[in-house]
Amino acid sequence: MIWGFSRFIVEAYRKVSYSKLRKKDKILQKTVGDSTIMEVSGSGLTMGQRASCLPSTPEEEHKIVTDLRNESERCLKEGNLYFVISSRWFQRWERYVQMGTDENLNGDRSSDSGYSNEASSLMEERPGPIDNSDIVENGGDCDCKENNEIQLRRMLMEGQDYVLVTQGVWEKLHQWYGGGPALPRKMIVQGVYHRNFDVEVYPLCLNLIDSRDESQSIIRLSRKASVTELFQKVCALRGIEQDKARLWDYFNKRKHAQLLVSNKSLEEVNLQMDQDILLEQVDVHHSSRFGLDSAGNKLASVSLEHSGSSSAIARGPTLSNGHSSGHRSNLYPASYIGSGLTETDDGLDATSSSKKGEKVALAGLQNLGNTCFMNSALQCLVHTPPLMEYFLKDYKDEINTKNPLGMHGELAIAYGELLRKLCSAGRTAIAPRVFKGKLSRFAPQFGGYNQHDSQELLAFLLDGLHEDLNRVKQKPYIEMKDSNGRPDEEVSVECWRNHKARNDSVIVDVFQGQYKSTMVCPVCSTISITFDPFMYLSLPLPSTITRTMTVTVFYGDGSGLPMPYTVSLLKNGFCKDLLLALGRACSLKNDENLLLAEVFENKIYRYLEMPLEPLISIKDDEHIVAFRYPKKGMGKTKLVIFHRCPEKTASEYRKSGAKLFGTPLVTYLGEDQPSGADIVSAVFKVLSPFKKMYSSAKASIGKENGFSTDGLDLQCSSSDAQTVEKAELEGASSTDLSLPLLLTDDTLTSFTAFKKDTIFESGKILKVVLDWTDKEQELYDSSYLKDIPKVHKSGFVAKKTRQEAISLSSCLDAFLMEEPLGPDDMWYCPCCKEHRQAIKKLDLWMLPEIIVFHLKRFTYGRYLKNKIGTFVNFPIHNLDLSKYVMKKDGQSCVYELYAISNHYGELGGGHYTAYAKLIGENRWYHFDDSHVSPVDESDIKTSAAYLLFYKRVRTVSKAETREAW
């Protein structure tokens, strides 16, 4: 996918002088006579020439680049030229053009030749010449070039290490900034049915061995280049006439097939990155049709079509000996069949075959250039017992060549052929070149030589094998019915029957189960129930779906001091979940309620009164408080108390010099028609915990009774505490309007005095401002109102003595947890006739024979993916899923682990391996590309586990005996 530029909003047009550049741009001043010439080092342009090329503002640079990008997206075609630019430099340019729109840079700037401080600060952000030295081999050192071409470093990641820009964008950036080196790359088109545009960042690299002098040369060509182009380049490089040159596919230093001059692409003939090709010189008089091998014997040219018939491949375990004449079955169109290599091409010879009838797959898979992800997934599938049994039998009658959703049977044939090679190769590693070629052809996203995801490959492979082996040749149209209150059993059977009417294959038989999906409209509460098939379960790790939230709880009835509580919740939870967690944390009583509110700029910004309001609406940097009330004492009139601190003297607190501080307090007035006296009494009551004498008394009493005063609601039972409370109540009745209180409006801009006999309408929200004069400051401790914590303090990491493990069951619980749909995944409510952010709940209804758990270890950002390396504790034996399954049909719900796909390291530089249990041996093996070694069962549980493969245990006794392998 072509990387897209960020879109920035241009807020204002400002002129910036570019007459002087930063020192980091290596500006050299050369005085010639009376004139000064400024030259940008390495660019070849003087400063006067460069300045004339520059737009007048960063905004204009951004607009020009954006327009060029948009134009190129409208004209995508094969052969378009793109350029690789270091992300390090490009991100500096991005920050520069973004900085140009910063409001803080508004204002006049001096047009004089001297710098103002503001202009100097701006110019510091302007990048110097384009610098690609960090992404090319040895920094672009001339001594390290190949054929005068600068080579890109291997294993770079788009977005993280480099970006791709169109030719027009590169020309503009180079015109403005100079630098380099230029790294042009062409766009190619990949795929058969789904044509994808892709920029070929890394062309095919081949090692040419010249048999005449054993010299070696590097050939670089696009994998879409033809064999004819390869011949032309080789002949020109080695000074040999084309009719005297013979090229061999020399993979693993063995002759596999002769490369014949043709329009076939290098990708079609299965040439791999960094592999060898062999050049031989022949006598044209004796080799027009036949060549000579190294011993001088005549050798038939081997075409790049498969030497064995495809129908023979699908008929059973008999393997071709590699000596057939190239016969091809009439069952398949010629354009679709032909793997290009025999079994010997993949490293298999007759002497390495295992005993007849023995179903053992101990062969490794060679890495063909970052294909460890493919090897890992393949080894797990190969060691899936029912799938192995199926592909070792005759399955040709089930190959569906006419399915428009399939691959004309080619993928199934390639997989079956590879599986039989692995079962017959003994311990000889197989090079899955034919399979990779098919994979790249039908799934171009896995083409090239970059690292990919084993789960994504597994998903494509299972789906592709299903469509290639679908027993349904003509899929009927079936209109799905709504549940309409019918029993779940009836609806589930109907949905599965409809699914099987269109999808019936060994993959469905083995891998597919059914889950129940319940949608609830958050507005009208309409419930929709569907039953859908699944092929694997992608389980979130609880650490990726939970968040810690800190909320400060205030007592609305004045019975205690505020206390912050930190709770852990699902990220996709609701405010009702937060209220429940807070209630448990603060020991909320049955006759009490909590009211959530957000405090912003010392005001109540909003009340979170909707139970189903998603928690994602609460940001980490917000301040959330909860007010605790007894249910019986809550009246209809809400009272909000704001706090002002005069900036001048106490006598001037009513003037505009006062400003808000602290957290507003919220309480309820129980009277139907509250008076001014009721307001004053309520304010005294809410403030009572903050009175310094009262706080000290409670603290000392709590200490004597063995309690901590760090926010717990201390119930003072001593006579001293009762005396304090009595004094507070007497103070409220005798003081009248001694508190400096004013009524205010919603905007807090209008302030009005009131009297004790003023009567207010019931049910309204009354707002008052308390001005904290010196008297209030001496009497009450206002520190409890200040500096309430944020929902989540960024950068804070709690110290842990050890990393706690996550269980597989907790991952399942998180997967089946009720959660709201995302904003981009809205559900159409049939009752509201609108798309709603529905509440979704999944339940497992029917389990398959083989169940695959995908642990979602990768989180995705704009430029890169992060990996979560948390250890997940999963059972090897006796995984009992009965408590998760809703349909009780007598089938065993106990499973046993038989394969694991592992991922080590970080994404991009990581590595995939596999563990698999060998059928018949009851022993685990480690498959690390070509290397295969036994491993103890106790060692297969690691934090690298990514895909877990479980097989149903059919017979389970009360003693939980396991099925024999």
CATH number of the domain enclosing 256: 3.10.20.90
Please give the share of the chain, as a percent, with pLDDT higher than 70: 72
Give the pLDDT score at 865.
60
Q: What does the alpha-carbon distance between residue 482 and residue 491 come to, in Å, rounded to a whole number? A: 9
| 8 A C-beta contact, residue 395 and residue 314 | yes
Beta 546-555 vs 865-867: how paired, if at all?
A: unpaired
Token digits of residue 257: 């097939």
pLDDT in tens, 786-835: 888 999 876 433 333 334 568 999 899 989 988 888 777 788 988 888 88
pLDDT in tens, 10-51: 222 223 333 333 333 333 323 223 322 233 333 334 434 444
- Cα distances from 359 to residues 356, 364, 385, 426, in angstroms, run 9, 15, 10, 10
Res 557 pLDDT > 70: yes
| Domain co-membership, 156 together with 272 | no
Q: Minimal CA–CA distance to 35: which of 46, 50, 25?
A: 46
281, 315, 334: which is the final residue of a domain? 281
| 8 A C-beta contact, residue 440 and residue 360 | no
pLDDT in tens, 658-676: 688 899 999 888 777 888 8
Q: What does the alpha-carbon distance between residue 237 and residue 147 come to, in Å, rounded to a whole number? A: 10
Q: What mean pLDDT do residues 609-613 have?
A: 81
The answer as to whether 299 is a domain residue is no
| Domain co-membership, 639 together with 662 | yes
pLDDT in tens, 54-110: 666 788 888 888 888 888 777 788 888 899 999 889 988 887 887 434 333 333 333
Token digits of residue 829: 């409510």
Give the pLDDT score at 635.
65
Q: What mean pLDDT do residues 109-135 have?
A: 57
Structural domain boundaries enclosing 275: 204-281
| Domain co-membership, 768 together with 633 | yes
Q: What does the alpha-carbon distance between residue 789 and residue 791 come to, in Å, rounded to a whole number? A: 7
Q: What does the alpha-carbon distance between residue 512 and residue 498 come to, in Å, rounded to a whole number? A: 14
The winner for highest mean pLDDT among 559-563, 729-733, 741-745, 899-903 is: 899-903
Q: What is the CA radius of gyration of the chain?
A: 37
Instruction: Give me the helix-helix angle, 58-74 and 167-177, nearest 10°.
Output: 160
Q: What mean pLDDT do residues 700-725 have?
A: 38
- Sign of dihedral through CA atoms 575, 581, 586, 589? positive
The answer as to whether 852 is a domain residue is no
| Domain co-membership, 268 together with 179 | no
Helices (H), 512-646: 542-545, 575-585
| Domain co-membership, 554 together with 634 | yes
The answer as to whether 366 is a domain residue is no
Cβ-based neighbour number of residue 636 at 10 Å: 14
Q: What does the alpha-carbon distance between residue 849 and residue 264 come to, in Å, rounded to a whole number? A: 43
Token digits of residue 790: 């944020």
Q: How many residues in the chain?
A: 965
The answer as to whether 372 is a domain residue is no
| Domain co-membership, 162 together with 266 | no
Q: What does the alpha-carbon distance between residue 622 and residue 443 come to, in Å, rounded to a whole number? A: 45
The answer as to whether 564 is a domain residue is yes
pLDDT in tens, 447-475: 767 778 899 999 999 999 999 999 998 88
| Domain co-membership, 581 together with 662 | yes
| 8 A C-beta contact, residue 369 and residue 251 | no
| Domain co-membership, 587 together with 639 | yes
| Domain co-membership, 754 together with 626 | yes
Q: What does the alpha-carbon distance between residue 784 and residue 829 come to, in Å, rounded to a whole number? A: 46
Annotate 592-612 with b (16+ C-beta within 10 A) or e (fewer): bbbbbbbbeebbbeeebeeee
Give the pLDDT score at 71.
82
Q: What does the alpha-carbon distance between residue 766 and residue 640 come to, in Å, rounded to a whole number? A: 6
Give the pLDDT score at 706.
35
What type of residue sits at position 577? D
Lowest mean pLDDT, pick from 152-166, 341-355, 464-478, 592-606: 341-355
pLDDT in tens, 395-437: 888 999 888 888 888 999 999 999 998 988 788 888 898 888 8
Beta strands in 204-275 (DSSP E): 204-210, 215-221, 245-249, 257-259
Is 911 designated active site? yes
| pLDDT-derived band at 544, boundaries 50, 70, 90 | low
The answer as to whether 626 is a domain residue is yes
Give the pLDDT score at 316.
57
| pLDDT-derived band at 145, boundaries 50, 70, 90 | low
Give the pLDDT score at 944.
93
Match 């299965």 to its residue by tokens: 270
Res 768 pLDDT > 80: yes
Active-site hit among 499, 792, 893, 911? 911
| Domain co-membership, 629 together with 746 | yes
Give the pLDDT score at 342.
37
Res 535 pLDDT > 80: yes
What type of residue sits at position 274? D
| Domain co-membership, 556 together with 632 | yes
754, 785, 816: which is the final residue of a domain? 785
The answer as to whether 480 is a domain residue is no
| pLDDT-derived band at 284, boundaries 50, 70, 90 | low
pLDDT in tens, 382-392: 999 999 999 99
Q: For residues 432 and 307, which has the higher predicted lDDT (pLDDT)?
A: 432
**Residues in CB range of 781: below 8 A, 6 or more apart:** 690, 691, 692, 695
| Domain co-membership, 252 together with 187 | no
pLDDT averaged over the chain? 75
What does residue 895 show for φ and ψ, rounded to 5 degrees? Answer: -130, 160
Q: What is the pTM of this model?
A: 0.60
Q: How many domains does the chain have?
A: 3
- Cα distances from 351 to residues 317, 426, 848, in angstroms, run 17, 9, 39
238, 261, 281: which is the final residue of a domain? 281
The answer as to whether 554 is a domain residue is yes
Active-site hit among 174, 306, 372, 716? 372
Token digits of residue 425: 């190769």
pLDDT in tens, 466-509: 999 999 988 888 887 777 778 889 899 999 999 999 999 999 99
